[in-house]
Structure 1
């Protein structure tokens, strides 16, 4: 009996010990502080605002957009802030206007001089941030913004050209037209002419020259077999990247084609509908959309080198995909493209959200798998090879992706 009694007591002690341990653990768990991460970007907003607020969180100073260490007048802030102006127009939230204003306020002095800008360099990339001024001046009526716009227009009036009138991409890249250049310069030039050139003959001359840029790119850069356009064309055929017979670069680069698509749908906003170039650009856009759709991956995304999807090292890329999505969505919304392209845009957009967009605990949105930069020539020399395009840095939140993503989000939310 004693043995049974001792066993019973021992069992009871064990039970009490285990219970007290459990209680202690419970007590410890209850004492541990619960950590809640503050949402700096609310998740109940549309993706356009979520990405714009994420950019503002990453770059509180808009002059440092594109991971800069010091302010610079460049095309990448112009791209994101142009997208921001559309978010402002949609929401009327002051914070977006203030963010845009801060960029121009910092870089343009009281005389209208643009800090870090050089007209002598004749660089088409520098025109893109003129879109910020086209947005700000009618609201603020600050004379310095008008003078800065006039400076950028003066650059286009004096920009060196190929023998048939195509803008050189930059003075340091003589005789070369790049797809990029049409987006950098032509939407600005068309809106500036529409709103600020009073002389009708001069205005018509600018419109004609704008349409000529598209005509020449189609003539020199479009591949008849695929309908895709080569990144660059060298009239002199002297560049190492240029085909000695055609002057074209070797490959169809996703973002290069993206720039061109956005150039077409944005220029059509300002070109008069009765101008003969209006219907011509719509025709080019439809040819383009057909060609781009043929090389879309089954996932809905597009490859860095568009027609080499199965080649080792190639990857599905976010900036070009965002640009195509915007181009197709806006093209349909504005009646330039058939309805079927809206389905293609939605498929691409959903693929971006599923595969290349991530959201941090604080609500900040990231766009991943962006080609950081790509060009032709220069120093060190960029030879335009497949290995070159796939070998450039890949990063998250490149403004050349976030800007078009915001604009695509707006178009698809209509």
Structure 2
């Protein structure tokens, strides 16, 4: 009887210990999770690293940015990761390189094939994230990155064009060129043709800018309309000029970033280099006239007093980056540094919020905007005001990171 009771007692002891063990494990896990969330981001770091660490804290995997539920090869994440490339080059912090490589390795298999890619879609947005592959290939010599680069380059071989030779924004937007598309495709195209083709296609790259300069430029404001329909058949298109009805801030940002980034690959003695530098000066002069006293720009920049208009973060960040880089590279006069600095100060003073753990958030970001499609987007002022305004949207995160790195604040 004593033996039996001892056995039961001992058994209960084992069960008790086992139960205690189970109870402790989730607590430890929960504690680690809380610790991760409460990680302090040092305020003595530069704005660029503070924002980069904030993004990584919220999204340990880059594909999770914008709260994506599953991995996607995404132009906005591509923009953010080009900023991480610059940050890695400055800081030599391995975690920034790993963040980039992990994103590529999730979306590209061992043969260099992209997940969920149909070349017949001819979507110029798909090209943009490909810019991260150059650095990955040069650093690792992994042939899958080269294969992926070649896949994206081949998109331009049979990519649909307007009669005058401009790349359509997408196959679903026939005969249309958007300012957005210059950033999505041309910096990649320029770098590829310089590194692998001795610059054979640089004239074609420049031609894309020439077309939009000649057809989307608004002499009255010195700014650019969002898009141009060469066929003039789209309901949103001006029947005489083919231009979109309004000027949109982020489109100006895309255009400016595209210019300063493609110029990285145009030799000074290339016949088109001075032309592109001229376009950048024209843009800098134009947008400077519409810079708000805060340093920021409005969603529809030439109508600042119109009801509903607001100071928008992503386009403001992109213009700050484009102007700052233009000055740093010697494309723009030094006086424009004041414009860039004023713009960045406006971002940090008015649109960047810091939580108790030092985590940065960017506010007043237009979630998305376009023309045509379903549901139909008519390009009216009311349409641009109707798009959702978000916090920590990737367009704003990427633009701010690039601006902060370029100004080295």
What is the TM-score with the length of structure 1 in the denominator? 0.89
1:159-178 to structure 2, matched below 5 A, reads 159-178=159-178
Cα displacement string for residues 26-85 of structure 1 (whole angstroms, at most 9, x for unaligned residues): xxxxxxxxxx99443221110000111111112111112222111111101100011011
Matched residues in 2 for 1:69 and 1:243: separation?
39
Partner of 2:383: 388
Secondary structure at 1:65's aligned position in 2? helix
Partner of 2:314: 319
1:82-97 to structure 2, matched below 5 A, reads 82-97=82-97
Calculate the aligned-residue CA RMSD, in Å: 1.4
Matched residues in 2 for 1:184 and 1:395: separation?
22
Cα displacement string for residues 7-29 of structure 1 (whole angstroms, at most 9, x for unaligned residues): xxxxxxxxxxxxxxxxxxxxxxx
| 2:409 is aligned with 1:402 | no
1:188-337 to structure 2, matched below 5 A, reads 188-197=188-197, 200=198, 203-204=199-200, 206-337=201-332
- Structure 2: gaps spanning 5 or more residues: 1-34
Partner of 1:44: 44
Post-superposition offset of 1:412: 1.0
Q: Residues 39 and 361 of structure 1 are in contact (CA less than 8 Å); yes or no, is this contact kept in structure 2?
A: no
Post-superposition offset of 1:362: 1.1
Partner of 1:140: 140
Q: Residues 66 and 76 of structure 1 are in contact (CA less than 8 Å); yes or no, is this contact kept in structure 2?
A: no
Matched residues in 2 for 1:291 and 1:247: separation?
21
- Structure 1: gaps spanning 5 or more residues: 1-35
Matched residues in 2 for 1:310 and 1:263: separation?
29
Matched residues in 1 for 2:332 and 2:233: separation?
38
| 2:124 is aligned with 1:129 | no
Q: Residues 190 and 267 of structure 1 are in contact (CA less than 8 Å); yes or no, is this contact kept in structure 2?
A: yes
Secondary structure at 1:89's aligned position in 2? helix
Secondary structure at 1:157's aligned position in 2? coil
1:107-122 to structure 2, matched below 5 A, reads 107-122=107-122
1:68-83 to structure 2, matched below 5 A, reads 68-83=68-83
User: Rg larger in 1 or in 2?
Assistant: 1
Q: How many residue pairs end up in the alignment?
A: 375
Secondary structure at 2:254's aligned position in 1? helix
What is the TM-score with the length of structure 2 in the denominator? 0.90
Partner of 1:353: 348
Partner of 1:15: none
Q: Residues 221 and 302 of structure 2 are in contact (CA less than 8 Å); yes or no, is this contact kept in structure 1?
A: no
Matched residues in 2 for 1:251 and 1:162: separation?
22
Matched residues in 1 for 2:43 and 2:294: separation?
25
Secondary structure at 1:358's aligned position in 2? strand
Cα displacement string for residues 124-179 of structure 1 (whole angstroms, at most 9, x for unaligned residues): 10000111101211001111110011010000122111111000000000000000
Matched residues in 2 for 1:242 and 1:94: separation?
48
